Amino acid sequence: MAGADRLKAAIGQTASAAKSPTAPVIVEGGVPLIFEESSPGRRGVDLNGGAASAKHAIDLLGSKLCRTDIDGFPELSEPQVLRHFLRLSQLNFGQALQLYPLGSCTMKYNPVLNDEMAALPGFANLHPHTPPHLAQGALELIARMEAALAEITGMDAVSLAPAAGAQGELAGLLMIRAWEEKRGRVRRKVIIPDTAHGTNPASCTLAGFEVVVAPSGPRGYLEAAEIRRLLSDEVAALMVTNPNTLGMFEPEIQQIAAVLHERGAMLYLDGANMNALLGVAKPGDMGADIVHLNLHKTFSTPHGGGGPGAGPVAVKQHLEPFLPHPRIVKRGEQWDFDRDRPDSIGRLRSFHGNFGMLVRAYTYILAMGGDGLAQASRHAILNAAYVRKRLEEHFPTATREPTMHECVLTHDLDQRTGVSTLDIAKRLLDFGVHPPTIYFPLVVHGALMIEPTETESLETLESFIGTMERIYDEAIQEPAMVKSAPHSLKLRRIDEVTAARRPVLRWTKR
């Protein structure tokens, strides 16, 4: 785009607005797209030995193999690029800056040291094909991390390979399948409660299992009697999150495990809510055969705007032979990869997992220690219980049962004044608070799922509580104002419906 066009874009018009099927692009207050800031001939990097033409390389390859241009690619100077992204960063909320009580996501403080340790040259510059004897420090870290997670979960063996919780789920389910096949059995059903995260049923489909939905009991938890009723010789496992997505510890989990094991089925525990359980109850002791963890939740690795995370999967001994590659083994004093694993479900991805996230989580575990981890869960539970108690008048929980590290609140504002949960969430933005998870779990009307985490202070919680109370009053006195929130940000409410109806998924030259 030429300079004059850029100027027009900046003041709210585009050169081709008349031809455009949509309204003119207004970037006032926003940041132009990197492509709109581009000017032919600018560069943001100088290569060793200075600029060079590609001619020699094209001669070497033959022009038939080569492209002539990368159509539309941006051209900016280094300071322009930095400014572009720093300005973008200012349009984000982040846990380091705001309360971010997103339920089931465990947005706790991400210690700064974690990132610094991952960036140590001995880790950052380590090529995945480095011969193991020259990467003993990395393999030792993997071994220690496996041992720590086994201890924390009460399980026997851990694989750090899965890139995310959903991949950990896939690994766990494929292990169940492999175990079944090894015994010449074909069980193709998995029971999942109606409150489960969406990844659970989606992972089941990918692993070739059919989902049987278990309704929660009237008090919000799973009853052993109901599981017994749903069990058959076709059921391979129950997949359950504990604490469940209502924030409740499943009180009958041990009886459920026993019922499952009696019928030759397994207990898969989704460890998404492990931040409630550190030093409180171990999945292994509950009778779990498999549990996966999310290092980006409980173990403080940054969420990164939606990843990368890591989703280690831990198993009891009978499933150890089926764990995914790679596995490490100590031979004498040296760690090495164990390639002789005939029963393994195979690889989930290339190389050795999201190693950089393992370094961060290990740094966190060392900093916290066994005592600190136990304190973390207790304070996470304390914070959630406090918010629940203080908000109960206007935002009661859906259940009267005790809750753990998060609570799911409901309200009657939609019937009284037409203010919805979404409106409340958007109004929270005006007060510099990231909203809780909303409308999940589906079984709670207008759900607000709040997980403060242990790293938020009493002052921050009080401020949040005050804000929620204020919004409640506003919803009664000025519902229209709440319904049109946010008001204080650079953008007003964003139209997500049109985005889906007429998808524009990339920039194109006008």
Q: Which residues within the stretch 279-298 sit at the binding site for other proteins (CB under 8 A)?
A: 279-282, 285-286
Cβ pair 196, 216 in contact under 8 A: no
Which structure tokens are listed for 171?
């690994």
Residue 391 binds other proteins, judged by CB under 8 A: no
Going by C-alpha positions, the residue among 493, 471, 485 that lies closest to residue 413 is 471
Strand order in the sheet with 266-270: 157-159, 313-315, 290-292, 266-270, 235-241, 189-193, 210-214
- Decide: residue 164, CB within 10 A, 0-12 exposed, 13-18 middle, 19+ buried: buried
Residue 394 binds other proteins, judged by CB under 8 A: no
Q: Please identify, using beta-carbon distances, which residue of 228 and 282 lies nearer to other proteins.
A: 282
- The interface with other proteins within residues 214-253 (CB under 8 A) comprises 249, 251
Q: Please identify, using beta-carbon distances, which residue of 135 and 408 lies nearer to other proteins.
A: 135
List the one residue from 28, 233, 234, 412 that touches other proteins (CB under 8 A): 28
Q: Please identify, using beta-carbon distances, which residue of 86 and 415 lies nearer to other proteins.
A: 86
Three-state SS for 198-212 is CHHHHHHHHCCCEEE
In whole angstroms, how close is the CB of 107 to other proteins at the nearest point? Answer: 6
Going by C-alpha positions, the residue among 372, 326, 419 that lies closest to residue 138 is 326
List the one residue from 215, 370, 418, 466 that touches other proteins (CB under 8 A): 370
List the one residue from 7, 140, 215, 219 that touches other proteins (CB under 8 A): 140
Residue 13 binds other proteins, judged by CB under 8 A: no
List the one residue from 21, 305, 332, 342 that touches other proteins (CB under 8 A): 305
Q: Please identify, using beta-carbon distances, which residue of 26 and 412 lies nearer to other proteins.
A: 26
259-265: which pairs have CB atoms within 8 A and are 24 or more residues apart? Answer: 259/224, 259/227, 259/228, 259/231, 260/227, 260/231, 260/287, 261/287, 263/231, 263/232, 263/233, 263/235, 264/233, 265/187, 265/231, 265/235, 265/236, 265/237, 265/238
Residue 466 binds other proteins, judged by CB under 8 A: no
- The interface with other proteins within residues 396-455 (CB under 8 A) comprises 401-402, 404, 425-426, 429, 434-435, 437, 440, 454-455
Cα 504 to Cα 91, 289, 476, 498, 510: the distances in Å are 21, 45, 38, 10, 13
Residue 29 binds other proteins, judged by CB under 8 A: yes
Residue 2 binds other proteins, judged by CB under 8 A: no
List the one residue from 456, 464, 468, 472 that touches other proteins (CB under 8 A): 456
Residue 129 binds other proteins, judged by CB under 8 A: yes
What does DSSP say about strands 189-193 and 210-214: parallel, antiparallel, or unpaired?
parallel
Residue 334 binds other proteins, judged by CB under 8 A: no
Which structure tokens are listed for 70?
């990368």
Going by C-alpha positions, the residue among 43, 40, 39 that lies closest to residue 52 is 43
List the one residue from 3, 21, 121, 342 that touches other proteins (CB under 8 A): 121
List the one residue from 1, 99, 148, 231 that touches other proteins (CB under 8 A): 148
Q: Would you give the distance in Å from CA 457 to the centre of its chain?
A: 23
CA torsion sign, 334 to 339 to 343 to 349? positive
In whole angstroms, how close is the CB of 265 to other proteins at the nearest point? Answer: 17
Going by C-alpha positions, the residue among 476, 480, 413 that lies closest to residue 448 is 413
- The interface with other proteins within residues 53-92 (CB under 8 A) comprises 53-54, 56-58, 60-62, 65-67, 69-76, 78, 81-82, 84-86, 88-92
In whole angstroms, how close is the CB of 11 to other proteins at the nearest point? Answer: 13
Q: Please identify, using beta-carbon distances, which residue of 415 and 467 lies nearer to other proteins.
A: 467
List the one residue from 31, 419, 444, 475 that touches other proteins (CB under 8 A): 31
Q: Please identify, using beta-carbon distances, which residue of 1 and 348 lies nearer to other proteins.
A: 348
In whole angstroms, how close is the CB of 470 to other proteins at the nearest point? Answer: 19
Which residues on neighbouring strands pair with residue 157, listed in sequence order? Answer: 315
> Which of 100-108, 226-234, 258-266, 406-414 is the region at the interface with other proteins (rule: CB under 8 A)?
100-108
- The interface with other proteins within residues 162-221 (CB under 8 A) comprises 163-167, 169-170, 174, 177, 197-199, 201-209, 211
Residue 256 binds other proteins, judged by CB under 8 A: no
CB atoms within 10 A of CB 245: 28
| DSSP category for residue 218 | T
Residue 23 binds other proteins, judged by CB under 8 A: yes
Which structure tokens are listed for 106?
């465990």
Cβ pair 322, 344 in contact under 8 A: yes
